[in-house]
């Protein structure tokens, strides 16, 4: 009986730890006061409305969306063939390739960001936007490869041979047979990549320059100057966006199978 009590207590603490900050942010976002504070002073939607009026939020939101969407697409264009090759052929150095591809997961973002800044942006004079795009693509690539690999491993390779024996070329077989059967895996990889990119801070922190900031960086920057609850309002909105996406993905794709 006591062991049961302890497990409930542990569970409650875990939930408090995970969900507590979220509750605080949402409460702060709905505050009627002038500064970021908890407990909120009165209730109001005015800070939520203000989020949409701040111009830098609109710009950085657009940049973050652009990076999340096109960075993920680029990562998929690179990652799907890698995943396919890794699952269907015994590649020489296959294990090495897999390690290199998943390096961005293991290497701290700060190092990736610093390295890209020092050796890409500064010496080659690459524009900040392009550097961010390259960095986000590289960061999403390991997730894309992993998730797509999981769904390729579930797809029997003999259906590809069957297609070939019915007259299909290898390339046509990939597009007609393989792709349609891994599309939910690809969609899952897209969602995971999108969320990863959208929430990415350390790498973007190094690469963001004047006037070019991703949304999370812009929020940090905004807070340093203006200490009003609109950052909390924005954070709450983003959290709801992320949660809805993942919830829908779980509901319709069984997202957790892939991640």
Give the interface with another protein as residue ranges (CB under 8 A). 156, 158-159, 161-169, 172, 177, 180-181
Dihedral of alpha carbons 113, 118, 122, 123, sign: negative
Q: How large is the greatest C-alpha to C-alpha distance in the chain, in angstroms? A: 71
Residue number, 169 or 244, with CB nearest to another protein: 169
CB of 47 to another protein, least distance (A): 47
Residue number, 1 or 166, with CB nearest to another protein: 166
CB of 169 to another protein, least distance (A): 6
Residue number, 118 or 156, with CB nearest to another protein: 156
CB of 99 to another protein, least distance (A): 25
Residue number, 24 or 177, with CB nearest to another protein: 177
Q: What is the C-alpha to C-alpha distance for residues 46 and 40, in angstroms, rounded to an integer?
A: 13
- For 88, phi then psi, to 5°, come to -105, -25
CB of 160 to another protein, least distance (A): 9
CB of 177 to another protein, least distance (A): 6
39: preceding bond cis by omega (within 30 degrees):
yes
Residue number, 30 or 148, with CB nearest to another protein: 148
Residue number, 18 or 166, with CB nearest to another protein: 166
Residue 187 near residue 147 (C-beta atoms within 8 A) = no
The count of residues in the chain is 259
């Amino acid at each position: 009986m006591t062991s049961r009590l302890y497990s409930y207590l542990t569970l409650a603490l875990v939930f408090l730890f995970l969900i507590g900050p979220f509750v605080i942010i949402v409460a702060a976002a709905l505050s009627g006061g002038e500064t970021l504070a908890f407990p909120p002073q009165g209730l109001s939607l005015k800070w939520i409305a203000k989020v949409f009026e701040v111009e830098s939020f609109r710009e950085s939101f657009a940049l973050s969306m652009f990076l999340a969407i096109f960075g993920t697409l680029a990562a998929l264009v690179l990652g799907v063939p890698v995943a396919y090759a890794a699952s269907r052929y015994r590649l020489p150095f296959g294990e090495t390739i897999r390690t290199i591809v998943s390096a961005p997961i293991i290497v701290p973002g700060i190092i990736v960001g610093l390295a890209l800044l020092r050796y890409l942006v500064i010496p080659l004079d690459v524009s900040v936007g392009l550097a961010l795009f390259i960095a986000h693509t590289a960061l999403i690539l390991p997730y894309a490869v992993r998730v797509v690999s999981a769904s390729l491993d579930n797809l029997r390779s003999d259906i590809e041979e069957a297609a070939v024996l019915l007259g299909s070329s290898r390339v046509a077989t990939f597009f007609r047979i393989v792709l349609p059967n891994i599309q939910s895996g690809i969609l899952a990889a897209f969602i995971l990549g999108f969320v990863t990119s959208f929430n990415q801070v350390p790498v973007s922190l190094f690469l963001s320059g004047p006037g070019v900031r991703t949304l999370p960086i812009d929020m940090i920057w905004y807070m340093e100057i203006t200490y009003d609850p609109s950052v909390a309002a924005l954070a709450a909105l983003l959290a709801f966006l992320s949660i809805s996406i993942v919830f829908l993905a779980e509901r319709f794709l069984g997202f957790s199978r892939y991640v």
